Amino acid sequence: MTKKEIIFYLSGGNDRELFERSSAIRYSMLGRKVYLRGLIELSNICSCDCLYCGIRQSNSNVKRYLLSKQEVLQSARYAYDNGWGSLVIQSGELCSDYFTTLIEELVQEIKTLSGGELAITLSCGEQSKDTYRRWLEAGADRYLLRIESSTQELFERIHPQNISYTKRLNTLQSLIDCGFQTGSGVMIGLPLQTIDNLADDMLFLANCGIVMCGMGPYIEHCETPLFKYNSEFSHSQRVQLTLRCIAILRILRPKINIASSTALGTLSKQARHQAMEVGANVIMPNITPEDIRANYSLYQGKISDLDLNSFDIEYFNQGIPLEVTSK
């Protein structure tokens, strides 16, 4: 697909054709499968001040937490006992020996408790190559680091000065070089973001060497600096754009793993299901201890649970021929 074609589809030029093309590829390449990855939000303590994020360091209204090892292992056991194949450990950004060692030990212990069966994805931000190597050697399989926006100017507008676009690109590359199955993604509908920027994002994600992608709508958080800037797109337009982005990436990269994000589910439950049909093949049910979930408030209204049974039943009631699988 050329950039011109991507722009045509992103602008709503022919949704029907786009979604037909992408679902045909989804079903022929990946069948009806939806993979489950249990999401554990390890900590909302963060040293970064990203202008869009509710748990940024400067937000003093956040009740900060760090899960105990025991809590993480309990969640991991829940995933394992239910036959899920995989876990994601996500966290605010901490760069310290303590944090590096904590993740290292958690990875080792989760591998032990599951007899090596649970695959582990980490989503713990920018770290040194040495830290990444230690986590990989401990047994982590995958790493997610979003580029957030591949347009340098926009990236710089939504991040503080100490977060560099070039460094983000290099860090993403170092994850790939290190041997992680690496994922990235963007936010869709940011203030100042244009269709042209999003078309560049799709080409970037298709060509940067990743094997997984998580992308979702940007959702305002009133305690962030970005709140006062308006997006060109309404929430429902962001939902539609997200579906188009997922479909386009599925066409560009038939085999890539694409998550249907929590942010998409927050704006529209139905859209999270539609995403599965037009190209997504991964969902990440939240298995953080329930009393703590609300504190991982990246954006307003963030849904904090996903009832698998009802998810499942809803699918089949609607007659959508998808198969939720554990691996």
Residue-wise DSSP of 87-109? EEEEE----SHHHHHHHHHHHHH
Could you give the CA distance from residue 254 to residue 276 in angstroms, rounded to a whole number? 14
Could you give the CA distance from residue 48 to residue 159 in angstroms, rounded to a whole number? 9
Query: Is the Cβ–Cβ distance between 7 and 55 less than 8 Å?
Result: no
Residues at the interface with ligand SAH (CB under 6 A): 52-53, 90, 92-93, 123-125, 145-146, 148, 187, 216, 218-219, 221, 263, 298-299
Least distance in Å: CB of 96 to ligand SAH? 14
Nearer to ligand SAH, 92 or 279 (CB): 92
Nearer to ligand SAH, 191 or 279 (CB): 191
Alpha-helical regions (H) of 208-307: 235-252, 262-267, 269-278
61: left (phi over 0), alpha (psi -120 to 50) or beta: alpha
Least distance in Å: CB of 177 to ligand SAH? 18
Could you give the CA distance from residue 12 to residue 64 in angstroms, rounded to a whole number? 41
Nearer to ligand SAH, 80 or 299 (CB): 299
- Residue 293 neighbours by CB under 8 Å, 6+ apart: 41, 286, 304, 305
Least distance in Å: CB of 146 to ligand SAH? 4
Nearer to ligand SAH, 118 or 187 (CB): 187
Could you give the CA distance from residue 311 to residue 75 in angstroms, rounded to a whole number? 19
Nearer to ligand SAH, 123 or 131 (CB): 123
Least distance in Å: CB of 40 to ligand SAH? 12
Could you give the CA distance from residue 120 to residue 247 in angstroms, rounded to a whole number? 26
Nearer to ligand SAH, 216 or 265 (CB): 216
